[in-house]
Amino acid sequence: MKKITEEILHQAAQAFDFACETGEIARYGEGHINDTFVVWAADKSKRFILQRINTDTFKKPDELMENICKVTDFLRKIIEKNGGDPERETLNVIPTVDGAPFYTDADGGAWRAYKFVENTICLQKVENENDFYTVAETFGNFQNQLAAFPAASLHETIAKFHDTPNRYRNFEKAVSEDAMGRAEDVAAEIDFVRTREADCHVLVDMLAKGEIPLRVTHNDTKLNNVLIDETSKKGICVIDLDTVMPGLTAYDFGDSIRFGANDCAEDEPDQSKVHFSLHLFEVFTKGFLSTAGAAMSEQEKISLVWGAKLMTLECGMRFLTDYLEGNHYFHISRPDQNLDRARTQFTLVKGMEAQFDSMMDIVKKF
């Protein structure tokens, strides 16, 4: 991706139909993929989200935005029917002045804009278990809301996104190419992944055997992809809809556990500070099953535990792959950040393995 110049940024802001004069623009949020900015109205009465879509990651921004418009239109109708507030409970795409869902800049960058959902908190880390519980309810509810969405109408925005065996193959390719000459220094981490190759197949095999259903899932259910209402402290809006695609409930459940069921940052450099929390796992399971559980079979519930372990292992593999390839995928702010991220995931995987039976018992309990 090209560097965003001031000129390109301001042209992008001018391209959208904000229906007001715009003023200050600043970088915003802590996503690893897109370039996110906040654009203020000149009189500071309101603000907007302006994002350059990462087109290295999402190669077809037209298809991506078609998905997002379809999904948010669908959600808006459900929210209205349930007496909710569609301005706050789903993303609202702001069109360009020409009425298009995104804008292409002079460098070929693709930009979109959303209404800013005000009076919300976006957490980077679990601060108390009530927050984690409401995030669980919110993602569970999101899955329910999309149960009747016509899955076949969605484009696959990233092919094989949670195909863990394919992620494993990409990891092996990065090890054998060793583009940066780093493989020798991370032999222990490479070995960690290799001894778990067989595990990578568990969920795709369950799907292939028809034991668990394909659903429309979010696929990137980090804590910071839910906005929590500042007053009610309830999760209100699921954001970052770039990867809404057919997937498994285990992916959504698992990715939230990966990110949230611990007391550390995703990139914690000191592994002695990284602990998988069975208690937070229980909190999340209870919240998630309270909204999504009714539609799930016993087998699908069991798959959630595998989802937790495999989404964590897969993400660790992806961070390690990116480190080996020279950090071209995930945004970094320091050289070894992806390696620290990978190590953190592997420490969490070990924690989960040590408590796998207890995780199964918890899932069966709710």
Question: Which residues would be at the binding site for ligand GN1 (CB under 6 A)?
Answer: 31-33, 57, 220, 222, 225, 240, 242-243, 255, 266, 315
In the chain, the amino acid numbered 317 is M
Contact 317/309 with Cβ under 8 angstroms? no
Angle between helices 337-354 and 298-325 (to 10 degrees): 150
Give least dist CB 138 to ligand ADP, A.
14
Q: In sequence order, which residues have a C-beta less than 8 Å from that of residue 68 and are 6 or more positions away?
A: 91, 93, 101, 112, 241, 242, 244
Size of the site for ligand ADP (CB under 6 A): 19
Strand ranges across the sheet with 235-238: 120-121, 226-229, 235-238
Q: Can you give the length of the chain in residues?
A: 366
Using Cβ positions, the residue closest to ligand ADP within the complex turns out to be 31
Q: What does the radius of gyration of the chain's CA atoms come to, in whole angstroms?
A: 20
- Least distance in Å: CB of 288 to ligand GN1? 17
Closest CA to 186 of 345, 321, 353, 352: 321
Q: In Å, how far from its chain's centre is CA 31?
A: 9
Considering only residues 227 to 286 of the shown chain, the ones binding ligand ADP according to CB under 6 A are 227, 239-240, 242
Residue 313 near which of ligand ADP, Mg ion, ligand GN1, none (CB within 5-8 Å, type-dependent): none
Which range in 17-25, 51-59, 118-126, 238-246 contacts Mg ion by CB under 5 A?
A: 238-246
**What's the rounded Cα separation, in Å, for the pair 158 and 243?**
7
Please give the size of the binding site for Mg ion, defined by CB under 5 A.
3
From the list 2-10, 78-86, 97-105, 109-117, the region that binds ligand ADP by CB under 6 A is: 109-117
Q: Which stretch binds ligand ADP (CB under 6 A): 26-34, 287-295, 341-349, 357-365?
A: 26-34
Based on the shown chain and the rule CB under 5 A, indicate whether residue 31 belongs to the binding site for Mg ion.
yes
Per partner kind, with CB cut-offs from 5 to 8 A, the member of ligand ADP, Mg ion, ligand GN1, none near residue 16 is none
**83: alpha, beta or left, given left = phi > 0 and alpha = psi -120 to 50?**
left
The only residue of 35, 89, 199, 240 in contact with Mg ion, by rule CB under 5 A: 240
Residues within the interface to Mg ion (CB under 5 A): 31, 225, 240
Residues within the interface to ligand ADP (CB under 6 A): 28-29, 31-34, 36, 49, 91, 114, 116-117, 122, 224-225, 227, 239-240, 242
